[in-house]
A and B are shown apart, each in its own frame.
Chain A
Amino acid sequence: MSCCRELTHTILLHPSYFGAQLEDYLRQKLYEDVEGTCSGKHGYIISVITITDIGEGKIIPSTGQAKFKTTYTAIVMKPFKGEVVDGKVVNVNKMGFFAMVGPLQVFVSCHLTQAEMKFDPNSSPPCYRSNDEIIQKDTKVRMQIVGCRVEANDIFAIGTIKKDFMGQIKED
């Protein structure tokens, strides 16, 4: 699920950057630091929308560095159990397939596909095939997240397509 969140980020600035462009540096640094990262608590930080407050620099004694506590609003994405997501298949193997939902990788095990869906290793590219569906690389699929593993800087999810209206999204 994607949503906007107000987050903070602390930036340390070397004195050599103090100057007219200080704020530019801070902004640039903030973007570099947080965009595209993932934290277990908030999920993936997709993009910084606004910088609410660049913060008031405080000089740290003994180093001369300035510490800025920056407040910003960002679009974050965090998967939840039971959430239905659309993604694009990136890898297919005999155990199942991996799909990317934005930055999130979702694994759909072959156990979590319809029973009649079989792995076909001989086709190129390898795919899962059932009577009316073919899932191969770059197929768009809809799946439901059944579990998430959250690490300090990454999230993995397991999905299922063993439900109604799940599986390949057919574009007409």
Chain B
Amino acid sequence: MSDQEDRSSPVDPRSDDERDEKPVTKKRARVVDPDEEDDVDDTEQVTKEDEKPDNDNDEDEDEDEDEDEDDEEDADEDEERGGERRRKRRRKQKVNRFLDVEAEVDDEDEEEDEDNDYGDVAEFIDEAPEEGAAQSDYQHRRLDRSFGRNEEEDVQDIVQRLKERHARTASARYNGDSDMVPQRLLMPGVNDPSLWRVIVKTGREPAICASIFRKVFSQQYSANPIEVISVFCRDSLPGMIFLEARQSAAVSAAINGIVGIFMSKGVSLVPIEEMAPLLKIKKKDVNLNPGMWVRMKRGKHTGDLAQVVDTDQITSGVVGIKFIPRIDLTPREKRRERAANGKGLGSNIKPPARLFSYDDVRKIYGRQSVRSGAQGSYFFENDEYIDGFCVKDVKIAVVESEAVNPTLEEISRFSGDDQSTAKFDLSAIADANKNLTVSVLFPGDQVEVYEGEQTGLYGAVETVTPDVIAIKAVGGDVHGQIIEVPSRSVRKRFDVGEHVKVLAGKNANATGMVVEVKGDVVTLMSDQGEQEIKVFSKDIRKAADTTNTAKQGGLYDIHDLVMLDSTTAAVVTKVEGALLRILDQNGASKSVTPDQVTLRRDNKRFAVATDSQGNDMKVGDVMKENEGENRQGEVINIFRSLFVFLHNREYTENNGVFVARAQSLISATPKSAVSDLGKMNPALNQQLPLGGASLMPPPPTNVNRNRLINTLVVVTKGTSKGLMGTIRDIQGDNARVELKTNNKTLTIALTSLKRKDQKTGATYPLEAGPAGGFGGRPGAGGYDVNPYSGAPMAGGQTPAGFGGRTPGARFGQTPNPYAAGGIGGKTPNPYAAAGAGGRTPAPGWGAGGKTPGPAYGNAGGRTPGWAAGGKTPAHGYGDGGKTPGWGGAGAGGGGKTPNPYGAAAGPSGGRTPAPAGSMYGVGADAGGSRFGNGAMTAPTPYGGPNPGVHSAPTPAAPSNPYTAPTPYGAPTPFAAPTPFAAPTPGAALSAPTPGVGGPTPYGAPTPFGAPTPYGGPANGGAPSTAPGGIPWDWALDFRNVIVEVGPSTRPGTRAPLHFQRGLYDGKRFGHDAIVGESCRCVSLEDASIIEEIPAEYLRPCYPDAPGQVVVCIGGGPEQKGQQRTTSYENGGSWMMEMEQGDMTALVLDDKDLCRIWKV
């Protein structure tokens, strides 16, 4: 009965017909449910009356009616419901309709067994005679008479009889007039039948009730009627039914054999004091105020938010609400079509909620369907629409006023647009949301008490129970105490500046910082974009100020790489207590326990992968997908150089971790390669490697040979050899040369031409490019070029061609002895001796690493031509080679020769050999270094004793040509031509040689000429780093020269590359004095700066203009130390002004010169 109450429509008018039935119901109701009697009665009256008018009209109404009648009967039957009940009702209904008396009998039957014993039930029986008596005066009179007649009867009997009678009528009267009876008298007592609870299958309660009911009925007239007075179930108590009976045996009999009853759970007795509450209806105090939010419970608007606008008729159970209508605006044809398809008229389709628009509705439904009312309102299908909203009076029952929880979104829709939301009184919403559901509170949250006696108190939540929370108070007298407050009266508290996260609503998952708190509404400044968000305080939580900074203990940490099996890797995205949330290499996310995975060795430092562009990526790089979602993130792990795990805080999925294939990634922020010291030094690719050789030859360069046109050349080969001419045209590898002699123009191979300096008469190679025809061996040339520099200029190229030839020519005669005698072994030496500097030889060796080997192995045949190393010595040895050769020495002779030299080297070579040795010692090639030493000694002596011992003339011839080229510096080239040029210079120089004088005449220059060429290539190769062919400690031999500070030239030094970190790099100093291995230098710019600079940082300051006083710091011994004045410069060579005793102009390489400081 109680549960039906909601469904009754309290508004409908009553019908008088029903009144008659009322007493009956009342009486019955009283039996079991005295507490609720009044409510029930009222309800029933009302509902009964509802139905009368349109009874039988439609099914629904019929049902309602059924229900209502049901209610009456429920009073008897203690709430039976559902289909079964309905059937039963029908049966009864029939009875009721036609035979009122029997309706009572029904009940009587049911309770007939108890009739005799109990007053309330007995009333039915007693009442009948009483009523009869009351109805008939006659009977009364007769009764009187009989009393009189029986006066003699035993008074005691009479008393007894009266007592009985009165006792019965008294109880009957109480029942009949319940309004006057105190409730407590109606409470069940020990004398009343007991209630038994039986556990049944949930959801089948009404059906089971009905079954029991039928069973009882069917057996009521049998020999063993079931003594159950009532059976009922309650919606609020699912899974159980209740039977009213005096003994449990009756209950057992009633439920025996009925499906759905759990007999095993037993039958339990409901304590008397619980019987009344069991049937109590919790009265809902519906408290509706205008402006309040409610939700619709029925119809197509189910779940829609509505606002109470009118509560004038609240007493009659009607409330005016306003909501957004759902009008089906499907075009008529379509609707018809849909109907034709059997889909019904949209009853199962919920039209979208939208504001009422007159035009739209008229278009679909026609003009006459919409009627306009006062003040811009419209009437459509009996509903009134104002401002687009539907305004309607509905029964209170169809709206839900609890747990409405309107979202800001809904409300903003309601108020039309977002703009007006601002104006909207948020307090109304706040009220609706006031009841802080406990579920949103967690221990540790800051809350504030906003109502009750503790108002204003705030603190952190300690414990949470459904109704009461304990908070640890902050501030005031109760500071630090734990205080219990009702959970309804607290709200979350936030301070301005706090970082919070939105948990629910439109902005769920947004984070931001609180900028304003007004009651329940908190304004955030979103982290994501520059916008403000207004949310309820209940919908936000304090967020960690810092992300991912707190390290968690435990074996696995976030972003660790773990292995699921031997081939599947995953990354920990979250550590949830004992569980790990992981993302595997295939992008699948799952939770695992730590023992399901193994931790992979931390390889973050080493793991590399190649991205889509072939660049390597490492952990920590920011990469971007170049396909798919184009996500971007920082690499956190790399597995097998194939799967890359990235992280981006902005993605919520998997806590920002995602996996991508290395091949689909591209660097997002191109990092300058320079700043990444973890990768190959890019400088090595651009410039000469100091210690190693690059493996690839530089690409061939095409030199524009047209610039050779009009060059003065001399022919060095062929029939025209020795003739001079001018190039008029270039055709491939040939040149058209206009000869000076006979004015003929010949086609001559470029390789057969040499450039001739008009002034000095010196010849140079025609061009410096690698394409030059010198080297018959491009491969070898390539090798040679590299070590020297990327710049295939004279230095680089020359030696190649040179080397190729020189030895060929030279060694042709005396190769064997060298190889055999190990003099060839010395070959490298001259390099050192030449002081090409620490560097020059180094690359030379590096590149020619193999050269010496084959060179020696081949007995010096041609192999030396391979490397700089190979060829250069060729010179020196060319000479040296001859010397012994001439002397008639074989291998043995060769072997001997060096010895005396070695002896001589001590004094004459001075310091030179020593450093050479040391530098080789550090060199990579031990063999080379040793040879170097030996070699060193060899050349030095040449100048001295050698010539004396050996035939003066012999060496002279070969030496001369050497000397001649030497000064021209570019020497190298010169050396090459030497053989050819032999005659030429010979002519010129034959004079000087003897001229110079007796003592030094012959070879003196010769041997020294040898080293020069080395200097040449060295210069050409690394002009910036290798200061000519001079040793690194040249400065210790001189004073009063101008020096320039630069990087250390000392090979293999451990000192820093730059003096004082390059403070003085490029600055010029005057060399004042020698202090140990350093030089005291005075700055030319600022004489107050006096530094002691180690010699290795000092480079000579080359002449740069004619007329400068220079000292020769390199070159031959007789030139070294000479002071000269520059006169004319050509291609890096200086012609000196003539001095007394000069037979010819002295030409020196500028690298051999150094300007004098104080003239």
Q: Would B1056 and A14 count as touching, CB distance under 8 A?
A: no
A13 at interface by CB-CB < 8 Å: yes
Chain B residues whose C-beta falls within 8 Å of the C-beta of A29 in the assembled complex: 675, 677
Interface 0/1 of A132-143, CB less than 8 Å to B: 000000000000
Chain A residues whose C-beta falls within 8 Å of the C-beta of B530 in the assembled complex: 93, 95
Q: Would B548 and A149 count as touching, CB distance under 8 A?
A: no
Which of B257-265, B283-291, B392-400, B491-499 faces chain A? B491-499
With contact pairs A14-B680, A93-B530, A95-B532 given, residues A21 and B1057 touching in the complex (Cβ less than 8 Å):
yes
With contact pairs A40-B546, A60-B606, A109-B525 given, residues A14 and B496 touching in the complex (Cβ less than 8 Å):
no
A148 at interface by CB-CB < 8 Å: yes
In the assembled complex, the CB of B201 is this many whole angstroms from the nearest CB of chain A, namely 56
CB-contacts of B1042-1101 with A (<8 A): 1048, 1053-1058, 1061
Chain A residues whose C-beta falls within 8 Å of the C-beta of B545 in the assembled complex: 148-150
Q: Would A20 and B516 count as touching, CB distance under 8 A?
A: no
B681 at interface by CB-CB < 8 Å: yes
Chain B residues whose C-beta falls within 8 Å of the C-beta of A152 in the assembled complex: 547-549, 649
Interface 0/1 of A150-163, CB less than 8 Å to B: 11100010101000
Q: Would A149 and B527 count as touching, CB distance under 8 A?
A: yes
Chain B residues whose C-beta falls within 8 Å of the C-beta of A148 in the assembled complex: 497, 545
Q: Would A32 and B525 count as touching, CB distance under 8 A?
A: no
In the assembled complex, the CB of A12 is this many whole angstroms from the nearest CB of chain B, namely 4
Instruction: Give bound CA distance, A111 to B466, whole Å.
Output: 36
In the assembled complex, the CB of A65 is this many whole angstroms from the nearest CB of chain B, namely 6
Chain B residues whose C-beta falls within 8 Å of the C-beta of A145 in the assembled complex: 497
CB-contacts of B595-617 with A (<8 A): 605-606
Q: Would A20 and B1048 count as touching, CB distance under 8 A?
A: yes
Interface 0/1 of B510-524, CB less than 8 Å to A: 000111100000010
Give the residue of A17, A109, A150 whose beta carbon is less than 8 angstroms from that of B677: A17
CB-contacts of B515-570 with A (<8 A): 515-516, 523, 525, 527, 530-532, 545-549
Chain A residues whose C-beta falls within 8 Å of the C-beta of B496 in the assembled complex: 112, 146-147, 158, 160
B452 at interface by CB-CB < 8 Å: no
In the assembled complex, the CB of B176 is this many whole angstroms from the nearest CB of chain A, namely 70
A62 at interface by CB-CB < 8 Å: yes
Q: Would A147 and B1061 count as touching, CB distance under 8 A?
A: no
Identify the closest chain A residue to B1055 (Cβ): A20
Interface 0/1 of B289-330, CB less than 8 Å to A: 000000000000000000000000000000000000000000
Q: Would B678 and A14 count as touching, CB distance under 8 A?
A: yes
Chain A residues whose C-beta falls within 8 Å of the C-beta of B523 in the assembled complex: 109, 111
Q: Would A111 and B516 count as touching, CB distance under 8 A?
A: yes
Q: Would A151 and B497 count as touching, CB distance under 8 A?
A: no
B684 at interface by CB-CB < 8 Å: yes
Instruction: Give bound CA distance, A19 to B515, whole Å.
Output: 56
Q: Would B546 and A13 count as touching, CB distance under 8 A?
A: no
With contact pairs A14-B680, A152-B649 given, residues A111 and B499 touching in the complex (Cβ less than 8 Å):
no
Q: Would A16 and B606 count as touching, CB distance under 8 A?
A: no
In the assembled complex, the CB of A57 is this many whole angstroms from the nearest CB of chain B, namely 11
Instruction: Give bound CA distance, A111 to B530, whole Å.
Output: 15
| Interface size in chain B (residues, C-beta < 8 A) | 39
Q: Would A13 and B497 count as touching, CB distance under 8 A?
A: no
Instruction: Give bound CA distance, A29 to B525, whole Å.
Output: 37
- Which of the four size classes fits the interface of chain A? 35 or more
Q: Would B675 and A158 count as touching, CB distance under 8 A?
A: no
With contact pairs A41-B549, A111-B515, A112-B515 given, residues A25 and B649 touching in the complex (Cβ less than 8 Å):
no
Instruction: Give bound CA distance, A111 to B606, whole Å.
Output: 51
CB-contacts of A83-124 with B (<8 A): 93, 95-96, 107, 109, 111-112
With contact pairs A146-B496, A146-B497 given, residues A65 and B678 touching in the complex (Cβ less than 8 Å):
yes
Instruction: Give bound CA distance, A148 to B499, whole Å.
Output: 8
Chain A residues whose C-beta falls within 8 Å of the C-beta of B678 in the assembled complex: 12-14, 65
Interface 0/1 of B741-763, CB less than 8 Å to A: 00000000000000000000000
Instruction: Give bound CA distance, A116 to B474, whole Å.
Output: 33
Chain B residues whose C-beta falls within 8 Å of the C-beta of A156 in the assembled complex: 513, 527
B679 at interface by CB-CB < 8 Å: yes
Q: Would B514 and A147 count as touching, CB distance under 8 A?
A: yes
A24 at interface by CB-CB < 8 Å: yes
Chain A residues whose C-beta falls within 8 Å of the C-beta of B546 in the assembled complex: 40, 150-151
With contact pairs A40-B546, A93-B530, A150-B546 given, residues A158 and B605 touching in the complex (Cβ less than 8 Å):
no
Q: Would B677 and A14 count as touching, CB distance under 8 A?
A: yes
In the assembled complex, the CB of B650 is this many whole angstroms from the nearest CB of chain A, namely 11
With contact pairs A20-B1055, A158-B497 given, residues A151 and B1048 touching in the complex (Cβ less than 8 Å):
no
Q: Would B515 and A17 count as touching, CB distance under 8 A?
A: no
Q: Would B515 and A62 count as touching, CB distance under 8 A?
A: no
A131 at interface by CB-CB < 8 Å: no
In the assembled complex, the CB of B498 is this many whole angstroms from the nearest CB of chain A, namely 6
CB-contacts of A15-57 with B (<8 A): 16-17, 19-21, 23-26, 29, 32, 40-41
Instruction: Give bound CA distance, A107 to B1056, whole Å.
Output: 49
A77 at interface by CB-CB < 8 Å: no
Q: Would B549 and A158 count as touching, CB distance under 8 A?
A: no
Instruction: Give bound CA distance, A80 to B1053, whole Å.
Output: 52
Chain A residues whose C-beta falls within 8 Å of the C-beta of B499 in the assembled complex: 147, 149
CB-contacts of B663-691 with A (<8 A): 675, 677-681, 684, 690
In the assembled complex, the CB of B1158 is this many whole angstroms from the nearest CB of chain A, namely 33
Q: Would A149 and B549 count as touching, CB distance under 8 A?
A: no
Chain A residues whose C-beta falls within 8 Å of the C-beta of B513 in the assembled complex: 107, 147, 149, 156, 158
Instruction: Give bound CA distance, A25 to B545, whole Å.
Output: 36
Chain B residues whose C-beta falls within 8 Å of the C-beta of A41 in the assembled complex: 549
Instruction: Give bound CA distance, A152 to B546, whole Å.
Output: 7
CB-contacts of B206-249 with A (<8 A): none
Q: Would A95 and B547 count as touching, CB distance under 8 A?
A: no
Instruction: Give bound CA distance, A29 to B671, whole Å.
Output: 13
Chain A residues whose C-beta falls within 8 Å of the C-beta of B679 in the assembled complex: 14
Instruction: Give bound CA distance, A151 to B544, whole Å.
Output: 10
Instruction: Give bound CA distance, A96 to B526, whole Å.
Output: 13
Q: Would B675 and A109 count as touching, CB distance under 8 A?
A: no
Instruction: Give bound CA distance, A107 to B547, whole Å.
Output: 20
Instruction: Give bound CA distance, A47 to B209, whole Å.
Output: 85
A11 at interface by CB-CB < 8 Å: yes
Q: Would B605 and A24 count as touching, CB distance under 8 A?
A: no
In the assembled complex, the CB of A98 is this many whole angstroms from the nearest CB of chain B, namely 9
Instruction: Give bound CA distance, A84 to B546, whole Å.
Output: 21
With contact pairs A41-B549, A107-B525, A111-B515 given, residues A63 and B606 touching in the complex (Cβ less than 8 Å):
yes
In the assembled complex, the CB of A91 is this many whole angstroms from the nearest CB of chain B, namely 9
Q: Would A20 and B675 count as touching, CB distance under 8 A?
A: no
Q: Would B549 and A40 count as touching, CB distance under 8 A?
A: yes
Identify the closest chain A residue to B550 (Cβ): A40
Chain A residues whose C-beta falls within 8 Å of the C-beta of B532 in the assembled complex: 95, 109
Instruction: Give bound CA distance, A26 to B515, whole Å.
Output: 44
A9 at interface by CB-CB < 8 Å: no
Q: Would B531 and A95 count as touching, CB distance under 8 A?
A: yes
In the assembled complex, the CB of A156 is this many whole angstroms from the nearest CB of chain B, namely 8
Instruction: Give bound CA distance, A168 to B691, whole Å.
Output: 62
Q: Would B649 and A151 count as touching, CB distance under 8 A?
A: yes
Chain B residues whose C-beta falls within 8 Å of the C-beta of A96 in the assembled complex: 515, 525
In the assembled complex, the CB of B785 is this many whole angstroms from the nearest CB of chain A, namely 22
* 30 CB-based A-B contacts, threshold 8 Å: A14-B677, A14-B678, A14-B680, A14-B681, A16-B681, A17-B677, A20-B1054, A20-B1058, A21-B1056, A21-B1058, A25-B677, A29-B677, A40-B547, A95-B531, A107-B513, A109-B523, A112-B496, A112-B516, A146-B497, A147-B496, A147-B498, A147-B513, A147-B514, A148-B497, A149-B499, A150-B547, A151-B547, A152-B549, A156-B527, A158-B513
Beyond the given pairs A20-B1053, A40-B546, A109-B532, 11 more chain A to chain B contacts, judged by CB atoms under 8 angstroms and listed by A's residue number, are A12-B605, A14-B678, A21-B1057, A32-B675, A40-B549, A81-B497, A95-B525, A107-B513, A147-B496, A148-B497, A151-B546
Cβ-closest 3 pairs across A and B? A147-B497, A146-B497, A16-B681
**Residues of B that sit less than 8 Å from A by CB:** 495-499, 513-516, 523, 525, 527, 530-532, 545-549, 605-606, 649, 675, 677-681, 684, 690, 1048, 1053-1058, 1061
